[in-house]
């Protein structure tokens, strides 16, 4: 995007802490890039210019007074617009929340501020995080910085694009079925979905509460680990938060994968009996296999592994997530906040408000969920999906007795053109590789690894058992280094 290389989060924090640069300089530089380039990309709904300048001034004052502003001193962070920011609009890309300004900060926003980070703006998403391309935003899609004729993925497409475009070195997304990892893959950045409960969701607008998890986007694995260590840890305001203290992951970076046992998941690898599975692009499958080779070369023991229930993830997810969404989104009724359309009585006012406020995909999922939970169908659809979820957890746990980590492509395809997946079911298949980790609650990361069709970025996913973020980051770093080496080698070949 930009001619000048933007500094990393670690570089910014180090320079701000030592006084080599100021937070206000950093913020102005990023605001200038956003002003010149975001008209095309549309990563942001709101650029919080004044709030960012004021926060930066606070960081600079702390440094001048000899205090340490924290590990993310002066680092601009873009926040997905479904996380509450006090005094800054939070729309969820929905007309129903178009003018809503939250009276409080999400815990993740508080933690970032306490670490010295600067909230620079709020990013676009598919409405209420329901989608895989940001095309479901009520306020227009985000364009992929790598190729603006294509989608950035979703639902956290604005946050992925913001980092890919250099608008901020870090951003936050939420991942219910792949909404951090898939856009990270499509935009060529790192996206982490931590263990369910490791990062507080207080102040995250709920979509599917048993699946939602917040995590960071960054251009490098080390920055992701830096951000994760700031975000993670128990929170009394989130009753699903894991009560044990967070084990920092930064100290284990660089330990490599020597001796780690890593399994390639047959059902999610895109290889069906030697052939490329339907919906998978051959270049994507080949890159995941090259990633396995790179891990082997680095000393890991890599083997194929079968998890039969993994193929059921998509079907189970599209019952469970809409069921929970239909309940969570019942709160948008035009009474206490958000859009109101009048009617002669309360029920008609609520229906008129919801009809005018929600977009197509949100209405579809509310209706699917309402039907799946209704008497007579509950056991056949929702209950069955919950049992499949147990089966998946059991099968994954069993596999993790023999393997430390698992591997698959992140998305079956690279970034696709706008409008290419207008059919909802076709769009849902984008999440086939990412959904299992949401159903099991396990952590998973997407790391850029080479390119596929039209030279577009490919992401490889590393999955681990509960709280295995340390091992995941170690493997991710090995892949990052291998990808850089391979890219360098092919650039040299091209030059000769």
Which active-site residues does the annotation give?
80, 155, 179
65, with CB counted inside 10 A (0-12, 13-18, 19+), is exposed
Task: Check the CA dihedral 219-225-229-232 and report its sign.
Answer: positive
Cα distance between residue 448 and residue 439, in whole Å = 24
Say how far residue 58 (Cα) sits from the centre of its chain. 29
| 485-491, long-range: CB < 8 A, 24+ apart | 486/290, 486/294, 486/450, 487/450
Measured from the CB of residue 464, what is the shortest distance to another protein in angstroms? Answer: 14
Rounded least distance, CB 47 to another protein, Å: 22
- Taking the complex as a whole, the smallest distance from the CB of residue 328 to another protein amounts, in Å, to 12
Strands 444-451 and 405-409: unpaired
Question: How far is it, in rounded angstroms, from Cα 14 to Cα 21?
Answer: 9
DSSP state of 218: E
Minimum distance from residue 344 beta carbon to another protein (Å): 4
Nearer to another protein, 60 or 175 (CB): 175
Max Cα-Cα span within the chain: 75
Q: How far is the CB of 445 from another protein (least distance, A)?
A: 18
Cβ closer to another protein: 60 or 333?
333
State which residue, 143 or 442, has the beta carbon closest to another protein.
442
Of 53, 137, 59, which is closest to residue 94 (Cα–Cα)? Answer: 137
Q: Which is nearer to another protein, 53 or 384 (CB)?
A: 384
In the bound state with another protein, the residue whose beta carbon lies nearer, of 420 and 466, is 466
State how beta strands 405-409 and 271-272 pair.
Answer: unpaired
| Nearest distance, CB of residue 441 and another protein, angstroms | 3
Read off the tokens for 296.
């082997």
227 Cβ contact partners less than 8 Å away, ≥ 6 residues apart: 9, 72, 77, 170, 216, 218
- CB of 409 closer than 8 Å to CB of 461: yes
Choice between 292 and 339, CB closer to another protein: 339
């Amino acid at each position: 995007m930009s001619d000048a290389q933007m500094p990393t989060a670690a570089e910014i924090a180090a320079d701000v802490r030592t006084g080599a640069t100021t937070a206000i300089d950093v913020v102005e530089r990023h605001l200038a890039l956003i002003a010149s380039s975001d008209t095309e990309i549309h990563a942001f709904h709101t650029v919080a210019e004044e709030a960012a300048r004021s926060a930066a001034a606070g960081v600079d004052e702390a440094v001048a007074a000899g205090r340490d502003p924290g590990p993310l001193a002066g680092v601009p962070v873009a926040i997905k617009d479904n996380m509450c920011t006090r005094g800054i609009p939070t729309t969820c890309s929905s007309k129903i929340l178009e003018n809503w300004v939250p009276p409080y900060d999400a815990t993740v926003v508080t933690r970032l501020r306490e670490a010295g980070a600067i909230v620079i703006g709020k990013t676009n998403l598919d409405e209420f995080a329901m989608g895989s391309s940001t095309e479901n935003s009520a306020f227009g899609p985000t364009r992929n910085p790598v190729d603006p004729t294509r989608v950035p993925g979703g639902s956290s497409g604005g946050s992925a694009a913001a980092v890919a475009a250099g608008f901020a070195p870090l951003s936050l997304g939420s991942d219910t079925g792949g909404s951090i990892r898939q856009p990270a893959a499509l935009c060529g950045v790192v996206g982490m979905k931590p263990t369910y409960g490791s990062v507080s969701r207080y102040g995250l607008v709920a979509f599917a509460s048993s699946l939602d998890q917040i995590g960071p986007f960054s251009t490098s694995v080390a920055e992701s680990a830096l951000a994760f260590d700031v975000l993670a840890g128990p929170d009394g305001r989130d009753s699903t938060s894991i009560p044990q203290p967070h084990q920092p992951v930064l100290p284990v970076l660089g330990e490599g994968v020597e001796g780690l046992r890593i399994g390639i998941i047959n059902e999610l690898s895109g290889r069906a009996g030697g052939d490329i599975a339907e919906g998978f692009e051959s270049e994507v499958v080949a890159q995941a296999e090259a990633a396995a080779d790179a891990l082997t070369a680095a000393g890991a023991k890599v083997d194929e592994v079968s998890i039969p229930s993994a193929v059921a993830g998509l079907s189970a997810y599209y019952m469970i997530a809409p069921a929970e969404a239909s309940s969570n989104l019942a709160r948008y009724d035009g009474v206490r906040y958000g859009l109101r359309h009048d009617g002669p009585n309360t029920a008609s006012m609520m229906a008129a408000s919801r009809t005018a406020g929600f977009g197509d995909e949100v209405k579809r999922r509310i209706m699917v969920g309402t039907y799946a939970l209704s008497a007579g169908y509950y056991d056949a659809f929702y209950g069955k999906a919950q049992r499949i979820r147990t089966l998946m957890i059991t099968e994954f746990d069993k596999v993790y007795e023999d393997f430390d980590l698992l591997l698959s492509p992140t998305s079956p395809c690279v970034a696709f053109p706008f409008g290419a997946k207008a059919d909802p079911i076709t769009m849902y298949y984008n999440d086939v590789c990412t959904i299992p980790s949401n159903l099991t609650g396990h952590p998973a990361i997407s790391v850029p690894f080479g390119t596929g069709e039209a030279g577009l970025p490919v992401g490889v996913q590393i999955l681990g058992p509960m709280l295995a973020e340390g091992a995941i980051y170690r493997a991710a770093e090995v892949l990052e280094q291998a990808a850089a080496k391979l890219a360098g080698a092919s650039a040299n070949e091209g030059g000769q």
